[in-house]
Structure 1
Amino acid sequence: MAHARTVSTDALGILSQPGLPFAARWAVTFAVCVTKWSIRTRTRRALSQLEPWQLADVGLTPEQAFTEASRAFWQG
């Protein structure tokens, strides 16, 4: 069974250290941005495939789901 590994906030706090090279900080920031975009794309794609009864279970109307699923990946 695979287990998700959690990242502590202390590990992410390393990014705010003044001695960290600019390129490393930029690379991590870029990776976080791309990861968010990927998650939004997958989530919105899955949302667009739900049945009306499933949407009702999560408290959304089909119109709300369509509006959210139609948004571009860069729109938060």
Structure 2
Amino acid sequence: MNTQKLTSHSFQSARAANLSAASLLSQVVQTLRRWNQLARQRRQLASLSDEMLKDIGRSRADIEWEASRPFWDDPDRR
């Protein structure tokens, strides 16, 4: 294999690895943002008054159950 082909192949491999790493990093950031969003929403639900919960048709027990779920427990990922 000549030097030009070797360099070209190495560059393409490095580029593919960079794209793969960038894609992985993007997925990690997206997951962390989603987990943060879930944790924030659950804290907000837990802070609602009983009157507000009644308005949205939920009981305090429903909200306590939801708020006690771990942040990584994403209902959209099932």
TM-score by length of 2: 0.69
Give the aligned length. 58
Q: Deviation digits for residues 4-58 of structure 1, max 9, x if unmatched?
A: xxxxxxxxxxxxxxx6710110011001100000001111111111111111112
Which residue of the partner structure matches residue 68 of structure 1? 66
Which residue of the partner structure matches residue 39 of structure 1? 37
- Say whether residues 1:49 and 2:47 are aligned partners: yes
The share of aligned pairs that are identical, in percent, is 29
Q: Mind listing any 5+ residue stretches in structure 2 that lack a counterpart?
A: 1-15
If you compute each CA radius of gyration, which structure gives the higher value, 1 or 2? 2
Higher RCO (CA 8 Å, separation ≥ 6 residues): 2
Structure 1's consecutive aligned runs of 4 or more residues displaced over 4 angstroms after TM superposition are none
Structure with greater helix percent: 2
